[in-house]
Structures are given as C-alpha cells and as structure tokens.
C-alpha cells in the first residue's frame, strides 16, 4: 500500500463549473453563477415559470400497470 496514493496527481484539476445562464466560468462569490446579473436572470426565470416541471411520465406508466394488476375485490 503506497502512502502517496491520496495525493492529487499533477494536472488533475477539478474542471471549473460553468454558469448555467451564459456558460462562462463561475465566480465563487456568485456560485453557481458567474455574476450577480446571471443570478438575477435565473431567479426571474423561476419566478416567471420558465422552469416549470411537467408531470413525470413514469408515474403514469406505473399507475396503469398497478391498476391492471389490482384485484377486483381489493
């Protein structure tokens, strides 16, 4: 067992996260965004319903399968 295995190898850096709004490198101060401006853009998108999550199709499939196998006298 080598004691040096836990040390990060040279050149093995964690890739910088990208701003979900403009795809630029994020700033630690504004994570996960690159700037206050992009954080505001994201917030306004949430507030205006752009990120509204549609109903999951998986639930519908499971419900149908369960209904077909459910005993009549349940």
In this structure, are residues 33 and 19 in contact, taking their beta carbons and an 8 Å threshold? yes
Q: Which stretch in 9-17, 21-29, 51-59, 63-71 sits in contact with Zn ion by CB under 5 A?
A: 21-29
Is residue 22 at the binding interface for Zn ion, with CB under 5 A as the rule? yes
In this structure, are residues 31 and 25 in contact, taking their beta carbons and an 8 Å threshold? no
Write down the least CB distance from residue 46 to Zn ion, Å. Answer: 16
Write down the least CB distance from residue 51 to Zn ion, Å. Answer: 16
CB-based burial, 5-23: b 16+ in 10 Å, e otherwise: eeeeeeeeeeeeeebebee
Is residue 21 at the binding interface for Zn ion, with CB under 5 A as the rule? yes
| Residues making contact with Zn ion (CB under 5 A) | 19, 21-22, 34, 38
């Amino acid at each position: 067992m080598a004691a040096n295995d836990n040390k990060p190898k040279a050149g093995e850096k964690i890739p910088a996260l990208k701003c979900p709004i403009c795809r630029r490198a994020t700033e630690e101060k504004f994570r996960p965004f690159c700037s206050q401006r992009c954080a505001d853009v994201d917030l306004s998108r949430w507030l205006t319903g752009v990120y509204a999550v549609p109903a999951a199709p998986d639930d519908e499939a499971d419900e149908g399968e369960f209904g077909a196998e459910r005993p009549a006298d349940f």
